[in-house]
Amino acid sequence: MTSGQTPALAVPNLRGAVYLDILRLLHRALNPRRYLEIGTRRGDSLVLAECPTISIDPKLEITSDVIGAKSQCHFYQMPSDRFFEDFDPKAILGGPLDMAFLDGMHLCEFLLRDFANTEKACKRNAVVVLHDCVPVEAAIAKRTFTEKTINPVHYNWWTGDVWRTLLLLIRRRPDLRITVLDAQPTGLACITNLDPTSTFIDDNYADLVAEMLSWSLETMGVPALLEALRVTSTSELDSAEKLYRRFWL
Interface residue list for ligand SAM (CB under 6 A)? 38-41, 44-45, 56-59, 79-80, 103-105, 110
Q: Which is nearer to ligand SAM, 120 or 221 (CB)?
A: 120
CA separation for the pair 96, 120 (Å, rounded): 9
CA separation for the pair 237, 26 (Å, rounded): 9
Minimum gap (Å) between residue 104 Cβ and ligand SAM: 3
Minimum gap (Å) between residue 74 Cβ and ligand SAM: 14
Q: Which is nearer to ligand SAM, 58 or 196 (CB)?
A: 58
CA separation for the pair 54, 92 (Å, rounded): 8
Half-sphere exposure of 124 (CA within 13 A, CB side): 5
User: Distances from the Cα of 2 to the Cαs of 5, 6, 7, 11, 226, in angstroms?
Assistant: 6, 9, 10, 19, 19
Q: Which is nearer to ligand SAM, 110 or 247 (CB)?
A: 110
- Per 3-state DSSP, the chain is made up of helix, strand and coil in percentages (nearest 5) of 35, 20, 45
- CA-wise closest residue to 39 among 119, 130, 122, 109: 130
Minimum gap (Å) between residue 119 Cβ and ligand SAM: 16
- Describe the strand order of the beta sheet including 53-56 as a list of residue ranges: 73-76, 53-56, 35-38, 97-102, 122-131, 188-192, 177-181, 231-232
Q: Which is nearer to ligand SAM, 1 or 153 (CB)?
A: 153
Minimum gap (Å) between residue 69 Cβ and ligand SAM: 19
- CA-wise closest residue to 34 among 91, 115, 76, 80: 91
Minimum gap (Å) between residue 234 Cβ and ligand SAM: 16
Q: Which is nearer to ligand SAM, 136 or 221 (CB)?
A: 136
**3-state secondary structure (DSSP) of residue 54:** strand
Minimum gap (Å) between residue 53 Cβ and ligand SAM: 13
